[in-house]
């Protein structure tokens, strides 16, 4: 079952670190089978919506998304981020 990796950037404290992370994370996650669905600032927010950068990546399964997160290539990207952003990241299975 498809799963979605959802990252919300609550605060960016170092743009250079975020750029270094993105340079490594994109290829690592695509290489692990991820497909970027959405990436950027919201066009509109509603209810308790927050204006924050959001990234949504589809994977074939929850297990594939977790494996991508735990893989050495993505861990290298996280090391490059090194506190450059405060993020809320989750993996959510698709609705049946």
* Residue 18: pLDDT band with limits 50, 70, 90: very high
* Residue 37: pLDDT band with limits 50, 70, 90: very high
Q: Is the pLDDT of residue 96 over 90?
A: no
Q: What pTM does this model have?
A: 0.93
What is the reported pLDDT for 44? 95
The residue segments making up the domain with residue 66 are 3-93
Q: Is the pLDDT of residue 78 over 90?
A: yes
Q: Is the pLDDT of residue 31 over 90?
A: yes
Q: What total number of domains does the chain contain? A: 1
Cα→Cα distances 74→21, 41, 50, 88, 95, Å: 9, 23, 27, 16, 26
CATH of the domain at 47: 3.30.70.100
How much is the mean pLDDT over the chain?
Answer: 96
The mean pLDDT value for 48-71 works out to 96
79 CB neighbour count, 10 Å cutoff: 11
pLDDT digits (tens, 9 = 90+) for 60-74: 999 999 999 999 999
Closest CA to 26 of 64, 87, 61, 68: 68
The mean pLDDT value for 86-94 works out to 97
């Amino acid at each position: 079952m498809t799963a979605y990796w959802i990252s919300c950037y609550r605060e960016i404290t170092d743009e250079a670190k975020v750029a270094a992370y993105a340079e490594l994370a994109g290829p690592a996650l695509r290489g692990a089978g991820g497909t970027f669905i959405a990436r950027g600032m919201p066009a509109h927010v509603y209810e308790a919506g927050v204006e924050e950068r959001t990234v949504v990546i589809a994977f074939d399964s929850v297990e594939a998304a977790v494996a991508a997160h735990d893989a050495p290539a993505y861990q290298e990207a996280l090391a490059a981020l090194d506190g450059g952003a405060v993020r809320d990241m989750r993996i959510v299975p698709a609705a049946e």
